[in-house]
Amino acid sequence: MRKIFPLSFIAASFFVAAQVLAHQGATGIVKERMDAFKASQTHLKSAVKAAKADNFDETQKLARLLADWGTKMPDFFPVGSDIMPSEAAPTIWSDMEGFKRAATQFADAANQLAAASAARNKEAVFASIKQVGASCKSCHRVYRQK
């Protein structure tokens, strides 16, 4: 037993190290969608900043980027792409229609942000930024696991 303990300990730490590596090492379509999600997070934050500064050209530009991503998003979840280190929930593939609806809701909110920006309506800009944020969260609740 005394000899087995260090061996299994080494095996365990190797396993942990491999997992950490895998998490950093997302590749292919999983990495592409993770990068797109990270970019969308940055865009949303930038939109809040721009809205505070009454920079509605900027909020409109960011809204278009977000809406574009919302339209393309389902294509980034092909069958079989729920592979490590993805946080995609299996529900995406068992309920692809619902997932697409959630992506459309997000794109619609982003399009509203674009329209409010074009109208230079600050109140509507903030209201639609809130809607966009709510659409991120409501999709994550069902279709993302951590």
The residue (of 38 and 52) whose beta carbon lies closer to ligand HEC is 38
Q: Is 137 exposed, middle or buried (0-12, 13-18, 19+ CB in 10 A)?
A: exposed
Structure tokens at 68: 């574009």
Least distance (Å) between residue 66 CB and ligand HEC: 6
- CA distances to 8, 10, 22, 58, 113 from 15, in Å: 10, 9, 11, 46, 45
Interface with ligand HEC (CB under 6 A), residue total 24
Kindly state whether residue 48 participates in binding ligand HEC, applying the rule CB under 6 A.
no
Can you give the binding site for ligand HEC, defined by CB under 6 A? 30, 33-34, 37-38, 40-41, 44, 66, 73, 86-88, 99, 102-103, 106, 132, 135-136, 139-140, 143-144
